[in-house]
Amino acid sequence: MGLTTAAATEIAKCAINDTPTYINASNAYLGVGDSTTAFSAAQTDLQASTNKVRIGMDAAYPSRSGAAVTFRSTFSTSQANFAWQEWGTFNAAASGVMWQRKVESLGTKTNTQAWQLTVTLTFAAA
């Protein structure tokens, strides 16, 4: 899982309160798509051309414990019914900043299933 260049800029904006768009309960989203394109820090969205969906947070998310932030979204039976090959965290329902993206096969969701995606981002000092 990689942090994007846009996310690094957003973190710098947060540090000095330079009009960042915070990832909070109002504007945090998890997205899934079906692209297997390798991660690049320059990417600004999931790489799937059509099969990609962003869903807002479940109640009480995102949450923080120390330097770890946990996000959780539930994708209903009518949402994201395709092979989940990539996922990412976002600060907007569309456009906005993709904070990170991971290329990983999570299986194929069908319209008879609701899936819950939980992601924990841990910020660590070097």
At 26, is the pLDDT very low, low, confident or very high (cuts 50, 70, 90)?
very high
- Strand positions, DSSP E, 45-97: 52-56, 63-65, 68-75, 83-90
Q: pLDDT tens for residues 32-52? A: 999 999 999 999 999 999 999
Number of structural domains, the chain? 1
Residue-level pLDDT at 116: 98
Backbone angles phi, psi at 10, to 5 degrees: -65, -40
Could you tell me the residue range of the domain that residue 47 belongs to? 2-122
Stated pTM of the model: 0.92
Instruction: Tell me what the pLDDT averaged over the chain comes to.
Output: 95
Q: 82: closest CA among 58, 106, 101, 100?
A: 106
Kindly tell me if the per-residue pLDDT of 22 is higher than 80.
yes
Instruction: Calculate the dihedral angle through the C-alpha atoms of 30, 35, 37, 38, rounding to the nearest 10 degrees.
Output: 40
pLDDT of residue 36: 98
